[in-house]
Amino acid sequence: MAEARQRGRPRAFHDKTAQNTVQSLDRALAILEVLAGGSGLTLTELAQSSGQSTATVYRVLSTFQAHGFVEPEPGAQRWHVGAGAFRVGSSYLRRTTLVDQARGAMQGLMRESGETANLGIEDRDEVLFLTQVETPEAIRAFFPPGTRSPMHVSGIGKALLAWSGTRKVVRVMMGGLPGFTPQSLTDGVELEKDLIDTRARGYAIDNAERTEGMRCIAAPIFNAHGEPVAGLSISGPAFRMREARDAELGDLVRRAALGVTEATGGRMPG
């Protein structure tokens, strides 16, 4: 550490331009990756492996230490990955486990319903689609991983909102309820009624509210605290997913979501 202090700060240390900030983050993450690949490294070893000065490495380590991402070894000059990095990494692990557990349920849904099955989560008040199992039908719904959708016009979005707290629903409403088709719920009162109906029957219905001619039925997946953390859905053209099939398909999706909830250690809310 003394070596780092002697070297001092680079001239660009106080440069807070957007370009420098991104470059600094890139260098910091490179150092964290090097540290994660070892079993405890000294400041000099980290500098040599990352190709950066010891002054830069020390500042990065100090910043990461403040957030718990790294920690020094007591009585030694070695650094290790800290509990903060583990907590962040665990969120990915939980998501990966969810995707793995949901895959079989999605394949079963596609076979039984004949429609595309989807898995999505809430991210920044939107639905983020993680994966899907496509139907072989020529006309089908398609949501590539990473696709986003407003919650109020998504089957998964409404399934999550229906079991979320009032604060979440209000926040989504305050963000605006834009219309995409004549069936879109753009009024808060209408959306609240729809969410009440969703809870009563156990599944949500997107009745061509996002895309004209396409319908979706979804149900929530819960964590160990009974909180909605993801949603399963099937989606397809309205001429195949007729309203007359809502109860049949809704029961399929609801049971599949319950299976994933149980497989991931979750429980239904009381």
Q: Which of 18-22, 142-146, 246-250 has the highest mean pLDDT?
A: 246-250
Long-range contacts of 161-166 (CB under 8 A, 24+ apart): 161/195, 162/195, 162/196, 162/198, 162/199, 162/204, 162/220, 163/199, 163/220, 163/222, 163/227, 163/228, 163/269, 164/228
- Using an 8 Å Cβ cutoff, are 149 and 126 in contact? yes
Does 142 lie in the same domain as 34?
A: no
Domain containing 238: what range? 92-263
Which range, of 86-95, 128-137, 237-246, averages the lowest pLDDT? 86-95
Decide if pLDDT at 133 tops 50.
yes
Does 97 lie in the same domain as 75?
A: no
Provide the 8-state DSSP code for 245: G
Instruction: Work out the average pLDDT over 22-33.
Output: 88
Angle between helices 43-50 and 54-66 (to 10 degrees): 110
pLDDT at 87 (0 to 100):
78
Does 136 lie in the same domain as 36?
A: no
- Using an 8 Å Cβ cutoff, are 50 and 56 in contact? no
Cα separations (Å) of 105 from 122, 131, 223, 255, 269?
20, 12, 17, 9, 21
Does 46 lie in the same domain as 179?
A: no
Q: What is the pTM of this model?
A: 0.68
Q: CATH code at 159?
A: 3.30.450.40
Instruction: Say how far apart CA 222 and CA 154 lie, in whole Å.
Output: 18
Does 162 lie in the same domain as 43?
A: no
Instruction: Say how far apart CA 233 and CA 139 lie, in whole Å.
Output: 17
Does 117 lie in the same domain as 53?
A: no
Instruction: Work out the average pLDDT over 219-229.
Output: 95
pLDDT band at 84 (very low <50, low <70, confident <90, very high): confident
Strand bridging mode 126-133 / 78-81:
unpaired
Cα separations (Å) of 27 from 46, 55, 61, 188?
12, 13, 11, 46
Within a domain: 258: yes
* Per-residue model confidence as pLDDT tens digits over 153-204: 999 999 999 999 899 999 999 999 999 999 999 999 999 999 999 999 999 9
Distance of CA 256 to the CA centre of its chain: 20
Decide if pLDDT at 48 tops 60.
yes
Instruction: Work out the average pLDDT over 35-39.
Output: 84
Instruction: Work out the average pLDDT over 13-34.
Output: 73
pLDDT at 6 (0 to 100):
40
pLDDT at 90 (0 to 100):
67
Instruction: Say how far apart CA 99 and CA 113 lie, in whole Å.
Output: 20
Within a domain: 173: yes
Q: Is 33 in a helix, a strand, or coil?
A: helix
Total domains present in the chain:
2
